[in-house]
Amino acid sequence: MKDSINARTKLVGLFADPCTHSNSPRIHNKSFIELGINMVYLSFQVNEKNIKEAITALKTFKMVGANLSMPNKKLAIPYLDKLSPEAKLIGAVNTIVNHNGVLTGYMTDGIGYIESLRQESINIKDKKVTTAGAGGAATAICIQSALEGAREISIFNRTEENAKIIVGKINENTDCKASYYSLYDKKALRKEIEDSQVFINTTNIGMGKYEDQSIIEDPTYFREDLIVVDIIYSPEKTKMLKMAEDKGCKTINGLGMLINQGAASFKLWTGKDMPIDYIKDLWNRS
């Protein structure tokens, strides 16, 4: 097992600001060591002031690639040579791969979400999905779900601007039918959840200062055969997931999405599968 850095070690970076709170360096470095891959993953403070230089450095130092997080997922796009089809449609990039000096941008958040469902034996194809939230994560999740064959997606959000952009992209580019509703329209929310096989919370409600809140306040919105997903992973079980569990729903939190989006980036850089069980085990013990 390789566990030391030498003159042949290749570099992968995280470009983000703030850059010191991420779990990605730990996840990737543990995986490199476990599989004996001579790469190292380091975190760099990158924002609108130095994103161009950071991306140029990928070529200068022949880096393998990078992950992008806040505020760089959209800012990086003008400096890349190519975009994957999903990154192009989503309009954001979280992974860059340096193929012999050609930088390609990918978006693995939605891929990680779909894979986390697949690992629970859930196939999104032909399903109707209701989503609360229309931020960055929702954009990737909804567009990827549509690309994977979801039949219908109903998006509920406080504000309409971004939700309508997602709806437009899905309706114009895929066979999935997407619609926007106000989050305050409780009657429509109940009805759309009633018609759906999957409900997913992509808002911040359930974590941080909203930890004691649930985006669904009335448990009768849930029924036993509904799959309820919360992409929040800390706390492990949000108030909403506890409520859904009490109603007998199958529930999934955001840890699978987090690990699988990283695994998809890992595969793009190394060609190898991330040792997901080993990483989940490390996570649960920390």
Active site residues: 73
Looking at the Cβ atoms of 63 and 256, the one nearer to ligand NAP is: 256
Helix and strand counts by DSSP (H, E) for the chain? 11, 12
Looking at the Cβ atoms of 57 and 240, the one nearer to ligand NAP is: 240
Q: How far is CA 238 from CA 137, 179, 247, in A?
A: 17, 26, 14
Shortest distance, CB of residue 147 to ligand NAP, whole angstroms? 18
Residue with tokens 């779909």: 114
Q: Where are the alpha helices (DSSP H) in the chain?
A: 24-35, 51-60, 72-75, 85-90, 109-118, 136-147, 161-173, 186-195, 239-246, 255-270, 276-285
Shortest distance, CB of residue 138 to ligand NAP, whole angstroms? 6
Shortest distance, CB of residue 62 to ligand NAP, whole angstroms? 29
**Binding residues for ligand NAP (CB under 6 A):** 109, 133-138, 157-159, 162, 202-205, 207, 231-233, 254, 257-258, 261
Which DSSP string corresponds to 169-190? HHHHHSS-EEEEEETT-HHHHH
Find out whether 16 and 73 touch, Cβ atoms under 8 Å. no
Shortest distance, CB of residue 81 to ligand NAP, whole angstroms? 26
Torsion of CA 152, 254, 18, 34, to 10 degrees: -120
Looking at the Cβ atoms of 152 and 230, the one nearer to ligand NAP is: 230
Looking at the Cβ atoms of 115 and 152, the one nearer to ligand NAP is: 115
Pairing of strands 95-99, 177-182: unpaired
**Rounded-to-integer distance, Cα 285 and Cα 241, Å:** 22
Closest CA to 197 of 128, 261, 131: 128
Shortest distance, CB of residue 67 to ligand NAP, whole angstroms? 12
